[in-house]
Amino acid sequence: MDYNLIAKEIYEKIGGKENLISAAHCATRLRLVVGDNEKIDKSSIENIDGVKGAFIASGQLQIILGTGVVNKVYNEFTQVAGIEETSKEELKTISTKKENLFKRCIKTIGDIFVPIIPAIVASGFLMGIIEALNFMVNNNFLQIDTSSSIYVFAKLFSNTAYIFLPILIAFSAGKVFGANPYLAAVIGMLMIHTELQNAWTVASEGVLKTQSVFFGLYEINMVGYQGHVIPVIIAVWILSLIEKKLHKVVPAMLDLFVTPLVSVFITGYLTLAAVGPVFVWIENGLIEIIQYILTIPYGIGSFLMGGAYATTVVSGVHHMYTVIDLGQIDKYGYTYWLPLASAANVAQGGAALAVALKTKNKKLKSMALPSSLSAFMGITEPAIFGVNIRYMRPFIAASIGAAFGALYASIVGLGATGTGVTGIFGILLHLHKPVQYIITMGIAVVVSFTLSWIFGIKED
């Protein structure tokens, strides 16, 4: 494979030096920020030898080259274009400036949650395992000592990330917003302080204590923010604004003492007195609207949402879905959104697999097969952008398959104990209803594969 030739052809097809702003790469994709998307010859790029697909997302032209290949092509590309290497973080900053406010907000949410997903996944898996073990013990399917240290500690570990979730979110948000992440963590701690009533006890005990604020203007409930997401993000954003302003106006000799003190106090007061209560109301409203749609009788709402899910991935809106998952887990004990997402992801794999098996185009086959396997694991970008949406019919087939999978999930009341993992390994978040999860995935794959096979693609 001639990496220099690939780099030269890509450089030419994006419009050359006049249109290139910056370049970076991730594990599988060359990521370019260009001045004018209209000057990109996308179809020609996709036909370059070694290129497995190309799409525009998050303000970047992303060219799928594959692990190992992308590094070599990138090195040649920087030489051909005469540019310096750019980190993925620097490229994000550049590309974000080209996006509208809504997309920047959605992207920010994604940037906050990506680093903490491993912690959420670990807790979610353990919660699923513990729940499955409890079910088997209570129904005499399994005999284990639930008082043993292994079981007791595992149960303790299983919900740790969710109990201290505001701290994880605050620390990550602090990094994203440019605040001191440790001050941000303090705000997260403040929001679940032991002097505040645990939010999970309000349903059974009612509100035990109130506090007047703003010199007696009104009263707020002295309740913590366990399980909440949006109020924490907004609070840390406010902290970042205050901290940055103080760094500019406070003398250097006092900055170390004054800035942290004033930043935390003002942010903390505003959070408990106003920001927290307002955004809890907004977050609860969002979760209730989503749940209302998902529980429309006969699974109609889930059918529509499942069918539309992949389209939201294309638009980038899916970065906010972790907020929905965590909000539902806090409110209902399960997230009914994740099974829908899982059905949509494996459906893309089913459609791509049909293309891989049916096409006679060797390049397309070599791209579609691994893309389908990736989608079955929950990573859908290669299947969506590299195969299905390029030919549209497989994408539509996958959307229909996802809709029917989501329909079944809604009818049987399938919910996940955690978030962050879909596809084959998503069953670990559904150990309380493993058969229903397998059937949901099976419906999505079979329907999408069948429709994609029947209607096929238009090949040159």
Catalytic residues: 26
Rounded to whole angstroms, the Cα distance separating 228 from 230 reads: 6
Rounded to whole angstroms, the Cα distance separating 417 from 51 reads: 38
For the chain, the C-alpha Rg in angstroms (whole number) is: 24
Rounded to whole angstroms, the Cα distance separating 55 from 384 reads: 10
Rounded to whole angstroms, the Cα distance separating 190 from 193 reads: 5
Closest CA to 290 of 313, 250, 322: 322
Rounded to whole angstroms, the Cα distance separating 365 from 53 reads: 12
Find the helix packing angle between 321-332 and 101-113, rounded to 10°: 60
Fill in the amino acid letter for 175: K
Do 6 and 54 form a contact (C-beta atoms < 8 A)? no
Rounded to whole angstroms, the Cα distance separating 220 from 205 reads: 17
For residues 426-444, b (16+ Cβ closer than 10 Å) or e, as one string? bbbbbbbbeebbebbbebb
- Identify the three-state secondary structure at position 64: strand
Q: State which H helix or E strand residue 428 sits in.
A: none
Rounded to whole angstroms, the Cα distance separating 395 from 371 reads: 13
Do 371 and 275 form a contact (C-beta atoms < 8 A)? no
Distances (CA, A) of 239 to 175, 282, 444: 12, 20, 44
